[in-house]
Amino acid sequence: MATESPAKPNKAGAFDIRLIIALLIGVYGIVLTVLGIGFTTQADLDKAAGVRINLWAGLGMLVVGLLFVLWVRLRPLLVPTDESAGESTEDSE
């Protein structure tokens, strides 16, 4: 009779959807931040009541992306391992 150790759940890792969302929000945040810093014209500022809206939206998106990454690090998704299929054939004999 073999000693059985409790199955250790695996982390979802790169397949965690929160990382994909963080990546997308982060990329858009970088693009908007760069546009807000270097490519805002006076006409754009006049349309937005003097606010560099691309800059602020980009910084906000970067913060949200970082919060998603922090969420993944602090509360990782655990994928249970399925070892019950191998045990059922041994128990039936």
Q: What is the pLDDT of residues 35-81, one digit of tens each?
A: 999 999 999 999 999 999 999 999 999 999 999 999 999 998 888 87
Average pLDDT of 26-32?
A: 98
- Provide the residue ranges of all domains of the chain, joining segments of one domain with +: 16-76
Residue 34's CB is within 10 A of a number of other CB atoms, namely: 13
Place of tokens 């919060």: 67
For 4: left if phi > 0, alpha if psi spans -120 to 50, otherwise beta; the answer is: beta
Average pLDDT of 19-45?
A: 96
Name the more confident of 33 and 9: 33
